[in-house]
Copies of this chain bind each other. A is one copy, B any other.
Amino acid sequence: MTAAPRSAAERRRDTEHRLAHDVDLWVASASPDGVPHLVPLSFDWDGETLLMATTEGPTARNLGATGVVRLALGPTRDVTVIDGDVEVLEIDALPRERGDRFAASAGFDPRALTTPYRWFRVTPRRVQAWREENELSGRDLMRDGRWLV
């Protein structure tokens, strides 16, 4: 049986809890000519931006070329989806504490690897959260970078 739809405030609370505690998310990117890519990556949320790290490959190339990403957290029937703008940063470009925080939360330290990694910092523009069909209405929690609730 489908549960009653959550209020916007509940959805924001659940979303922020997940951003603070989850380790991985799904990263959807696109090449400039419309080929989609999708991989799981670890991330860290500092309350305003999501930090991810990856090495050369389609995700790094796409995010560098287009500057936009769509992220998903949670299982398919309890999702948080985030459209965001991406900054690409060299691996030595962040304050040490920010990198330490990522390493603690993601379980690996991309600064310590011989494979060359870069940082991808995502600023959310739109955030949506829904479980089932009956939560599709009211799923927008952030628009144009501002929380609605």
Q: Is A33 an interface residue (CB 8 A)?
A: yes
Residues facing B in A56-79 (CB within 8 A) are 62, 65-66, 68-72, 75-77, 79
Q: Is A38 an interface residue (CB 8 A)?
A: yes
Q: Which residue of B has the minimal Cβ distance to A72?
A: B38
Copies in the complex: 2
**A72 to B113 CA separation, bound complex (whole angstroms):** 27
Q: Is A29 an interface residue (CB 8 A)?
A: yes
For the complex formed, measure the closest distance between the CB of A127 and the CB atoms of chain B, giving whole angstroms: 13
Interface string of A83-95 (1 = CB under 8 A from B): 0000000000000
Pick from B24, B36, B69, B76: contact of A76, CB under 8 Å: B24
Question: Is there an interface contact between A36 and B36, defined as CB atoms closer than 8 Å?
Answer: yes
Pick from B31, B32, B38, B71: contact of A81, CB under 8 Å: B38
Pick from B34, B66, B69: contact of A65, CB under 8 Å: B34
For the complex formed, measure the closest distance between the CB of A76 and the CB atoms of chain B, giving whole angstroms: 4
